[in-house]
Amino acid sequence: MSIQTENISKLVERRNNAKMGGGQKRIDAQHEKGKYTARERIAMLLDKGSFEEYDMFVQHRCTNFGMEKSHYDGDGVVTGCGTINGRLVYIYAQDFTVSGGSLSITMAQKICKVMDMAIQNGAPCIGLNDSGGARIQEGIDALAGYGELFERNILASGVIPQISGIFGPCAGGAVYSPALTDFTLMVKNTSYMFLTGPAVVKSVTGEQVTQEELGGASVHASKSGVAHFAADTEEDGILKIKTLLSFLPQNNLEEAPKVPTEDSVSRVDDLLNEIIPDNPNKPYDMYYIIRSIVDDHNFFEVHQDYAKNIIVGFAHMNGRSVGIVANQPKILAGVLDINASRKAARFVRFCDAFNIPLVTLVDVPGFLCGTQQEYGAIIVNGAKLLYAYGEATVPKVTVTLRKSYGGAHIVMSCKQLRGDINYAWPSANIAVMGADGAVNVLYSKDMKTAEEPEEKKRIFEEKKKEYDDLFSNPYQAAQKGYIDDVIEPRNTRFRVIRALEQLQGKRQEIPAKKHDNLPL
């Protein structure tokens, strides 16, 4: 055997060993937990044969606590690039079979390298997390590694899409990388995120809680809002990441790819003419309206289980990607509260950063009142959504379906927040408040002085009708130019798409600044 042949054989053998991570026994243990390995996840996510791996032979340099006796090529993370549906992405996947996927300084350097390449080459970066946290044996080096990683997350924000998939443990400082990315997906029953685990919580507060109760997928998808998606299985999670990417551009200088559709632009839905109940206090389902107006009735929701009184997500309209924001009358009457405001603001800012037009469907009675909301800073949180819409320079098309009252009217992409095209249905009510509340404020003195209950009722009904005639319709707003047109509901798809086509060449800038000071 020649030296060259021998060298090649050693290379092949070393590559095969590296691909085994921590060895077959640990791979089997991973499978027994219902989890895939890092390489298996990458294979599921990327187009077949497209993965180009970097730094396969990197090893840690730690000599503390006997670490010099144990080395694995790759050092607990698989990094590289590949394609998803033919589009370039950069990826890293932590390998739990090697030191529990714990982060070393060399592992951090591998991740930072692909993140730098993603920023430089303008492609999304996907991180698949499955790690026990910082490698304790490395001390400050491991912490420095996290710092380097977080800095890359910050620099990449608004430049390239960043997606985090949590496919196992993610605890301590490790949680801040997913928190800094654009979207976080968790897998039910096998992934969790928290700063301090159940044992620490019990020792400090005395509270007994399981890992799932403290930081499982369902908790973060419905209560904290940390997770944008909760997948039933890893396969489901991988599919969700692929679907999400189909709506996104490669970077902030490009537009999302156009998707061919046979769904007619002029398709109408006669049921929309009847969907708004005669009783203004009766709910209806906003999901029907969303699916009615988007291409092929296909809506990809974000934060589905969190702050359900507002709906956000992606769709295509005439093949172009759009971000949908809509109040949900079925939940809390569609009122805006702290969580709904934060949820929508974050989504609006993402769409603006990546050139995705915004379509806003409005039916909002106001902001939720009460001490809990005020003490929780509903003022500042509501201002986040206000700020996000006012700052956004992407095309913005707003359709007011029914209620649009008070400060909530302003917040939901009104004309004064540089809304480009603002439509209203004939059922729209645009006012400071609803008729009942307005009459009680404006004519409280008259009703107090009324001697008979019948007289009080007569005054109330008379003034309510007067108020309704004036404001319980979209025409006063239209007369003043705050509404560009009152449209027939059945034609909403056509009118919104035509508005978006008109706005394709929109150019709008904000004053030069180092950065804004978003209310936090």
CA angle 260, 265, 269 (to 5 degrees): 125
Residue positions counted in the chain: 520
Rounded to whole angstroms, the Cα distance separating 97 from 23 reads: 7
- Beta bridge partners, 282, equal none
Torsion sign (Cα): 90, 95, 101, 104 = negative
Look up 49 and say whether it is catalytic.
no
> Among residues 230, 344, 388, 408, which one is catalytic?
408
> Among residues 144, 407, 437, 450, which one is catalytic?
407
Rounded to whole angstroms, the Cα distance separating 410 from 380 reads: 15
Helix axes 453-471, 435-442, angle to 10 degrees: 120
383 three-class SS: helix
405 three-class SS: strand
> Among residues 139, 158, 173, 437, which one is catalytic?
173
Residue indicated by tokens 């551009």: 249
Rounded to whole angstroms, the Cα distance separating 250 from 361 reads: 27
Contact assessment for residue 115 and residue 126, using Cβ atoms and an 8 Å cutoff: no
Contact assessment for residue 118 and residue 104, using Cβ atoms and an 8 Å cutoff: no
Look up 173 and say whether it is catalytic.
yes
Distances (CA, A) of 444 to 98, 116, 436, 438: 72, 64, 11, 10
Rounded to whole angstroms, the Cα distance separating 234 from 239 reads: 9
Rounded to whole angstroms, the Cα distance separating 240 from 146 reads: 27
DSSP 204-238: HH-----HHHHHBHHHIIIII---SEEESSHHHHH
Contact assessment for residue 171 and residue 194, using Cβ atoms and an 8 Å cutoff: yes
Look up 505 and say whether it is catalytic.
no
508 three-class SS: coil
| Distance, C-alpha 134 to centroid of its chain | 27
Burial 505-518 (b: 16+ CB within 10 A, else e): eeeeeeeeeeeeee
Residue 433 DSSP symbol:
S
Contact assessment for residue 165 and residue 217, using Cβ atoms and an 8 Å cutoff: no
| Closest by Cα among 386, 444, 446, 397 to 420 | 397
> Among residues 22, 82, 127, 172, which one is catalytic?
172
Structure tokens of 449? 């002085």
Look up 407 and say whether it is catalytic.
yes
Catalytic residues: 172-173, 407-408
